[in-house]
């Protein structure tokens, strides 16, 4: 069994609301700005962490991972945030943990690649770390036994997906559970650096459009829920 406290975790949120609680609850020993991102290094409990707001979309996310690896020598990457559901079973507020991640907006099929496959990468999906996946599942049940957690594929692209037809295309083509704008880039950069990663996403809408939520209110709640999960993971 691995000891979580012997590792150093890079924790990425795209928006400030997703990392604010974590920064408030950690012991910060150093703050460093690189590529217009503020990296807060310190501890959550007894575990070494670096918490950072990457900014939105794929390029920001990929750059963020590389800085965490090169500058801070993190051993694991955790990405938290909000996503839109692609599966009607998943309710607003439920948690998706990545089994893997892929792009839904990459298309080199004219050259014989699969939809979503980056040319010459040798893979379309970037597998998440099994140990981290199990840690997330345990944390969800400990934090809120009534909360449902789904393990599956996270689909990412530089698009905010609101159209039902586009959602159905992504679900049918890629078999994803949710869609967002950073996860696959974090997954790709992590895999290229041989750093284990996991994505944790709180769901903001029903795939079939049957649910509604006050987004600013939910965003704060989702950020708090994800922060609580990360804190539990790092302290247990």
Cβ(99)–Cβ(201) below 8 Å: no
φ, ψ (nearest 5 deg) of residue 138: -65, -40
Beta bridge partners of 11: 51, 78
Q: In this structure, what DSSP letter does residue 68 have? A: H
Whether 205 is catalytic: yes
CB atoms within 10 A of CB 174: 22
Angle at 153 between CA 172 and CA 203, to 5 degrees: 95
Cα separation values, 125 from 33, 107, 108, Å: 31, 14, 15
Distant-in-sequence, close-in-space partners of 117: CB < 8 Å, separation ≥ 6? 106, 108, 123, 124
Catalytic one of 41, 205, 225, 231: 205
Distant-in-sequence, close-in-space partners of 35: CB < 8 Å, separation ≥ 6? 63, 64, 67
Whether 18 is catalytic: yes
Backbone torsion region of residue 73, taken as left when φ is above 0, otherwise alpha when ψ lies between -120 and 50, otherwise beta? left
Residues tagged active-site: 18, 205
């Amino acid at each position: 069994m691995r000891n979580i406290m012997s590792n150093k975790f890079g924790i990425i949120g795209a928006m400030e609301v997703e990392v604010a609680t974590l920064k408030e609850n950690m012991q910060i020993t150093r703050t460093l700005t690189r590529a217009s991102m503020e990296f807060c290094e310190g501890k959550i409990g007894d575990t070494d962490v670096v918490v950072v707001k990457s900014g939105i979309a794929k390029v920001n996310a990929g750059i963020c991972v590389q800085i965490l690896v090169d500058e801070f020598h993190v051993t694991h990457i955790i990405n938290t945030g909000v996503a839109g559901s692609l599966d009607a079973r998943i309710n607003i507020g439920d948690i998706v943990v990545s089994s893997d991640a892929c792009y839904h907006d990459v298309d080199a099929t004219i050259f014989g690649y699969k939809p979503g496959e980056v040319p010459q990468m040798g893979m379309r999906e970037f597998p998440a770390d099994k140990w981290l996946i199990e840690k997330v599942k345990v944390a969800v049940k400990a934090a809120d036994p009534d909360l449902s957690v789904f393990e599956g594929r996270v689909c990412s692209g530089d698009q905010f997906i609101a159209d039902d037809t586009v959602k159905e295309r992504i679900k049918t083509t890629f078999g994803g559970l949710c869609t967002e704008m950073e996860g696959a880039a974090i997954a790709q950069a992590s895999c290229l650096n041989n750093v284990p990663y996991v994505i944790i996403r709180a769901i903001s809408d029903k795939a079939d459009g049957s649910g509604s939520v006050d987004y600013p209110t939910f965003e704060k709640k989702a950020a708090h829920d994800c922060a609580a999960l990360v804190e539990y993971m790092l302290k247990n």
